[in-house]
């Protein structure tokens, strides 16, 4: 693990998905921190600086795009990736979020581990 990298925030209401993403992140040489809800994620951002965020599109308290809007208020340059089994890459909502800069990338579930590593390598703040 390389300590010069800011940790990557993982927000998903499924603990197993957090575990999978955190392990991929760790193997890519970064640290990860998980939150199981948007509320928990916002609390973590108050005491941590993140280099990237992976957000589930459907959370129990706030959807991932709304959480992205909230995160943008405090960190306009944070690379935000929506991870979803609900939306698709060519969904108009996702295309709009990408074009407006609300999100940096989209990854559909189920995903390939190499796809996550590629996104981390391309976008994570160093």
Are the CB atoms for 51 and 5 separated by under 8 Å? Answer: yes
How many domains would you assign to the chain?
1
In this structure, is residue 12 part of a structural domain?
yes
pLDDT at 61: 95
- 98 part of a folded domain: yes
Q: What is the pTM of this model?
A: 0.92
Structural domain including 43 reads 8-121
CB atoms within 10 A of CB 5: 18
For residue 97 the two structure tokens come to 């979020």
44 domain residue, yes or no: yes
Q: What is the CATH number of the domain that holds 72?
A: 3.40.50.2300
Judge whether 1 lies within some domain: no
Looking at the domain assignment, is residue 37 inside a domain?
A: yes
How confident is the prediction for the chain on average, in pLDDT?
A: 92
The reported pLDDT for the residue numbered 70 is 96
């Amino acid at each position: 693990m390389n300590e010069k990298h800011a940790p990557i925030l993982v927000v998903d209401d499924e603990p197993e998905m957090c575990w999978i993403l955190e392990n991929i992140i760790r193997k890519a040489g970064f640290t990860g921190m998980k939150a199981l809800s948007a509320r928990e994620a916002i609390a973590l951002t108050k005491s941590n600086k993140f280099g990237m965020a992976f957000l589930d599109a459907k959370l129990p308290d706030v959807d991932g795009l709304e959480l992205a809007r909230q995160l943008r208020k405090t960190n306009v340059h944070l690379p935000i990736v929506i991870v979803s089994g609900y939306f698709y890459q060519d969904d108009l909502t996702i295309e709009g979020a990408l074009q407006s800069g609300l999100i940096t990338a989209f990854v559909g579930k189920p995903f390939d581990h190499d796809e996550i590593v590629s996104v981390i390598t391309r976008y994570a703040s160093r």
